[in-house]
């Protein structure tokens, strides 16, 4: 049989060892916890970086699409100005030829020349807006009229009720020509323009007389007259 003192000392030793083992485990656990916290913090920081990066990329994308639409608009504006300039040059060229005494009376086939313009007398049921586009398709515009002589020429050639380029679509009662030329002559039928219901905003030349009437733009007339400048 062992001595009691020995047994006590043995148990005490075991207890000490056990305690120190427990402490080691605790410190190991604490270290692990620290590691986990560190990893969690890193994950958090990565996530926040990720969302920052995403925002940055989205910002870049928006900038890029802004730039694209900006440059598209600029290109459009430039091509509009170029077109206007070309028209101006063409007009000036003709002015110059006239000033030099040249006669500008060349018109495309099926067009009729009078003074400085060529006229196309379109036929077939068209609303005003359709007639406008039909002229545009021919690289022309609905006609504008500026003198009794021009009116007389048109009255002789337009046998049907015909759409022209005079309209007060923007401001009621303020008639303007589509080609931007001044309203310096008129040939209204007595009592016109009367803007009858449901609102008459497009001028037609009456076939029988050539006199003017403001008509309902969506009426289908049988005729329409286009103009372009004669070439030299
Ligand atoms: Ca009107
Ligand atoms: Ca009328």
Task: Please report, for the domain that includes residue 122, its CATH number.
Answer: 3.10.100.10
36-81 pLDDT per residue, tens: 899 888 888 888 888 888 898 888 889 898 889 898 999 999 999 9
Domain that holds residue 213: 112-229
Cα(142) to centroid(ligand 1), Å: 18
Q: Is the same domain home to 59 and 133?
A: no
Helix, strand, or coil (residue 184): coil
Judge if 80 and 134 occupy the same domain: no
Task: Indicate whether 210 belongs to any domain.
Answer: yes
Cα of 119 from ligand 1 centre, angstroms:
26
pLDDT of residue 103: 67
Comparison of pLDDT for 18 and 223, the residue scoring more: 223
Say yes or no: 62 and 93 in one domain: yes
Distance from the alpha carbon of residue 215 to the mean position of ligand 1, in angstroms: 8
> Which ligand number lies closest to the CA of residue 169?
1
Instruction: Locate 136 and state its tokens.
Output: 């545009």
In a domain, 123, yes or no: yes
Residue range 73-125, pLDDT digits in tens: 999 999 999 989 988 887 787 677 666 666 678 899 999 999 999 999 999 99
Q: Same structural domain for residues 31 and 130?
A: no
> From the CA of 201, how far away is ligand 2's center (Å)?
8
Q: Are residues 92 and 125 in the same domain?
A: no
Are residues 191 and 116 both part of a single domain? yes
Q: What is the DSSP letter of 16?
A: H
Distance 188 CA to ligand 2 centre (A): 9
CA of 186 to the centre of ligand 2 (A): 14
Residues within 5 A (CB) of ion ligand 1: 168, 195, 201
User: Which one of 50, 82, 102 terminates a domain?
Assistant: 102
- The answer to whether position 172 is within a domain reads yes
**CA of 192 relative to ligand 2 center, distance in Å:** 5
Cα 2 to ligand 2 centre (Å) = 135
98 and 116 fall within a common domain: no
Q: Note whether 119 and 206 are same-domain residues.
A: yes
The overall average pLDDT reported for the chain is: 91
Residue 82 lies in a domain: yes
Nearest of 89, 141, 82 to residue 117 by alpha carbon:
141
206 CA to centre of ligand 1 in angstroms:
17
Is there a domain that residue 76 lies in?
yes
Rounded to the nearest angstrom, the distance between the alpha carbon of 137 and the centre of ligand 2 is 28
Note whether residue 211 is domain-resident.
yes
**Domain stop point among 71, 102, 133:** 102
CA-nearest of 210, 208, 213 to 225 is: 210
Ligand that comes closest to the CA of residue 212: 2
72, 102, 132 — which closes off a domain?
102
Q: 88 with 127, same domain?
A: no
Q: Retrieve residue 192's tokens.
A: 């016109």
Rounded distance from Cα 178 to ligand 1 centre (Å): 15
- Domains: count for the chain: 2
Residue 107 lies in a domain: no
Burial 139-169 (b: 16+ CB within 10 A, else e): ebbbbbbeeeebbebbbeebebbbbbbbbbe
Closest ligand by atom to 200 CA: 1
| Same structural domain, 172 and 210 | yes
Tell me: do 119 and 70 sit in the same domain. no
Which pTM was predicted?
Answer: 0.58
If asked whether residues 86 and 146 sit together in one domain, one would say no
């Amino acid at each position: 049989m062992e001595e009691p003192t020995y047994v006590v000392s043995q148990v005490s030793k075991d207890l000490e060892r056990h305690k120190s083992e427990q402490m080691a485990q605790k410190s190991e656990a604490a270290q692990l916890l620290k590691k986990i916290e560190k990893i969690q913090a890193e994950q958090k920081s990565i996530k926040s970086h990720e969302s920052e990066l995403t925002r940055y990329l989205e910002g870049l994308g928006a900038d890029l699409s802004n730039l694209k639409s900006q440059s598209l608009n600029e290109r459009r504006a430039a091509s509009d100005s170029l077109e206007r300039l070309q028209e101006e040059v063409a007009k000036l060229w003709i002015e110059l030829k006239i000033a030099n005494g040249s006669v500008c009376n060349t018109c495309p086939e099926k067009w009729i020349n009078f003074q400085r313009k060529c006229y196309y007398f379109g036929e077939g049921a068209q609303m005003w807006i359709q007639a406008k586009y039909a002229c545009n398709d021919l690289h022309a515009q609905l006609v504008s009229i500026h003198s009794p002589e021009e009116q007389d020429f048109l009255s002789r050639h337009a046998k049907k009720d015909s759409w022209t380029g005079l309209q007060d679509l923007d401001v009621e009662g303020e008639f303007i020509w589509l080609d931007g030329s001044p309203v310096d002559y008129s040939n209204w039928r007595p009592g016109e323009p009367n803007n009858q219901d449901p609102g008459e905003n497009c001028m037609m030349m009456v076939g029988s007389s050539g006199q003017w009437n403001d008509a309902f733009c969506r009426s289908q007339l049988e005729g329409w007259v286009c103009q372009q400048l004669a070439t030299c």
